Each structure stands twice: as C-alpha cells, then as structure tokens.
Structure 1
Amino acid sequence: MSDALDDGPFFHGTKAALRVGDLLTAGFRSNYRPDVVMNHIYFTALRDGAGLAAELACGDGEPRVYRVEPTGDFENDPNVTDKKFPGNPTRSYRSTEPLRIVEEIDDWQRRTPEALQSWRNRLDALDRSGNAEIIN
C-alpha cells in the first residue's frame, strides 16, 4: 500500500453503469479531460468527494458512486497531496492496479445546479491558466 495511510472504505465516482465485481482499470480516457488517457485509476475515502467527481465527469449518464476495493498497491494522489494541500485532506488516492466494484452507493450528497456550475467554472479557469495539469 506504499505510503497511503488509509484503510477506507474507498469510493469512485463516474457516470458509467457498472456491476458488482467489475474492475476499473487504468488506460482509459479521463472522466474530465477526454483527450488524456489515464495511467492510473483514481479513488477517494470520501463518499461525497466521489459524488462530486461523478457529477463533474463528462458524459450524459447518471452520476454514480461505487464502493471499491483496491486490488494492489496505491498511493496518495499527487494532484492534491502536498502539491495543493498539506497532507491528504481529500483522502484521494491512485493506483495502476484495478479497483473492484463492491457495491453502488446511493446516499451521497448531490450538489445543486448552481453549485455544480460554480465547480465547473473553477475547473475551467484552472484549465485556462494551465494549473489544472493532470499528473498521470
């Protein structure tokens, strides 16, 4: 588990309809920047953080949050750990190994349309400034 000091449970947010036992793997396009193919699969120990990720993901599907189990080693997500926030307050992680879907979670906090637009505006501003680089 390298230097990631978290026992979970862990969650992944997406607009993909998945089933228990399915594996999420690296090597696919980013949920947020479809021009980027991801070398890692990202997840968090914060249920509502995964919900926000699902709501902000590209695509027309319904936002979904899944409880997942890492199948191998994982590390703190360098996109937010220490680079942007001291420690890992977002409890965000990444792995090159698959994540197994354990169950779909229904009780996560959904944002208002106004709150989601505010998040999208912030992400767009970061992307235009060049500060939203994905460390992959």
Structure 2
Amino acid sequence: MNIKFDPNNNVIKLCVMGMSLEESGNTEEANTMFLKAWNEAADDYEKFIAAYHFARQQKNITDKLKWLELSLQCALNINDDNVKSAYSTLYVNISKCYEELHDSDQAKRNYELSELYKGVPSDKGPFYHGTKADLKVGDLLTAGGISNYKPELQMNHIYFTANINGAGLAAALAKGEGTERIYIIEPTGEFENDPNVTDKKFPGNLTRSYRSKEPLRIIGEETEWNKLTTTQLSKWRENLAKNKGNIIN
C-alpha cells in the first residue's frame, strides 16, 4: 500500500474541508464532513486520519476516547515511518481522556508511551530537497537561504522531506527562473521534525518534513514526480498569500 501523504486523497480533502468549516464556526457541518471521511476511508491510513479528526469533535469524553483509540490502532496496524510521528500525539490525547475519566493508571501508561515516541525522528529516507538551483552530486545545501514563503525571512535551517511530492511543491515554489529540480540528499548531522507542519492540522508529521542546522549532501537527482499543473500552482500561491501565520524559524 502506498501511504505517502497525498493532499489529493479524497479522505484527506474531506478532513481539510472539515477543518475549514470548523475554523469558520460551522461545527455541525464539520462533524458531518469528518464522519463522511470515516465512512469513505478504505484502509488503515485513511481510517487513522479520519478517526483522529472525528474524535476531536466528540463532546462526550468516552466517545472521544473510543475514536482516539481506534485512530491509534489503525496507525499501529500500519507500523510505518509515514505515521510513527503521530504516535506521541495520539498517546498524549488518549492520556488526557483517561485523566478526565479519573483513571490515573491508564493516563500514566499512555503518557509514558507518548514520551517514548518523542525525540529525534527515526526516518531513514530516502530524503529529497526541491529547488530551482543547478547543483551537482557532492554539493552541500546549507541553512541561511531566503524563505520561499516569506521573502523577508532568512532561514536558520535547511529543509527537506521524505515525500517526493512535497519536494516537488518546494521546487515549484522556489525563487528563480531555473528548471525545477529534486535532489536526493543525506543529512550530515542531526535533524528534527519541521515544527511548521508537525501537529498543526494532522497528527504528527505526516508529510515527513524535516529541518537541520547542518548541511545536506546531494547524493543524486530524482527526475520523475507528479508536477503541479499551472492551476494547482496558482492555487498554492494564492493560499500562501492569504496565510498570515508566522513561520517557526
């Protein structure tokens, strides 16, 4: 099963629509959208995402716990780097439910499991970096570049991903008139989950987006990926222009 995060996946699109409704105060419609996502979910990956969002809508703490545990079970069934970053988030939310139910033993157990899955990412890649720069194998990519999203911001980290389509998006949005390039890279030092996407809308770091203060070494180039259409790229640029959120740098 190909379980890389795909924003065009129908269940993910339904959840994004649900979150938009939620943000605008339409909680009942949001709830309907998340339930629709659950009913359309066809595999453990889709069920894990849909159940997580449906859980957040539950007013009854027992119902919330039931849906969170269902989401966790689906994530554990997958047992893959695409979802491991979500384990800590799920366990801590389950722990909070048990606290409200005054079950301190289960709350403590789930909190300890949450802590167990925190820390340095275990992702082994392969990793990619999207850009319009013309580079070669052996070159080093370093922090200090200008943000693709906020032109006035100099970045303290260098960013990369294990999701090739995420790298493709970065290449399409990169400054310059050059050809879109996706380089296969290896980190030369420690790296962390990108805090700009981790636990923001989806649990954990489903896009497998990372950053490092240490250079990234180019070890190859990828030439095949799903390139954005002109319409899709315009939509991304439009959404970014509307986004007033701060970048965690």
TM-score (norm 1): 0.91
1:86 is displaced (CA, Å) by: 1.0
Question: 2 CA distance for matches of 1:10 and 1:81?
Answer: 17
1:115 is displaced (CA, Å) by: 0.8
Is structure 2 residue 228 aligned with structure 1 residue 111? yes
Q: Check the 8 A contact 1:28/1:37 in 2, yes or no.
A: yes
Identity value in percent: 63
Question: 1 CA distance for matches of 2:150 and 2:141?
Answer: 18
Q: Give, as a single letter, the amino acid of the residue that structure 1 aligns with 2:188.
A: T
1:34 is displaced (CA, Å) by: 2.6
1:35 is displaced (CA, Å) by: 1.5
Q: Deviations along 1:27-48, whole A, 9 cap, x unmatched?
A: 2222333321110000000111
What secondary structure does 1:83 align onto? coil
Q: Check the 8 A contact 1:32/1:58 in 2, yes or no.
A: no
Is structure 2 residue 199 aligned with structure 1 residue 82? yes
Q: Check the 8 A contact 2:182/2:223 in 1, yes or no.
A: yes
What secondary structure does 1:37 align onto? coil
1:134 is displaced (CA, Å) by: 1.4
Kindly report which structure 2 residues correspond to 1:90-129, keeping only aligned pairs within 5 A, or say none: 90-126=207-243
| Bigger Cα displacement from structure 2, 90-99 vs 76-85 | 76-85
Map of 1:70 onto structure 2: 187
Tell me which structure has the larger Cα radius of gyration.
Answer: 2
Measured on the aligned residues, the alpha-carbon RMSD in Å equals 1.1
Q: Which has the higher strand share?
A: 1
Q: Which has the higher helix share?
A: 2
Q: Give, as a single letter, the amino acid of the residue that structure 2 aligns with 1:78.
A: P
Map of 1:135 onto structure 2: 248
Is structure 2 residue 161 aligned with structure 1 residue 44? yes
Number of equivalences: 131
Name stretches of at least 5 consecutive residues in structure 2 with no aligned partner: 1-118
Q: Deviations along 1:38-82, whole A, 9 cap, x unmatched?
A: 100000001111011100112211111000000000000000001
Q: Check the 8 A contact 2:149/2:240 in 1, yes or no.
A: no
Q: Check the 8 A contact 1:30/1:36 in 2, yes or no.
A: yes
Question: 2 CA distance for matches of 1:84 and 1:37?
Answer: 25
Higher RCO (Cα < 8 Å, 6 or more apart): 1
What secondary structure does 2:225 align onto? coil
Q: Deviations along 1:68-105, whole A, 9 cap, x unmatched?
A: 00000000000000133211110000000000001111
Question: 1 CA distance for matches of 2:241 and 2:145?
Answer: 22
Question: 2 CA distance for matches of 1:49 and 1:60?
Answer: 19
Question: 2 CA distance for matches of 1:15 and 1:31?
Answer: 11
TM-score (norm 2): 0.51
Is structure 2 residue 133 aligned with structure 1 residue 19? no
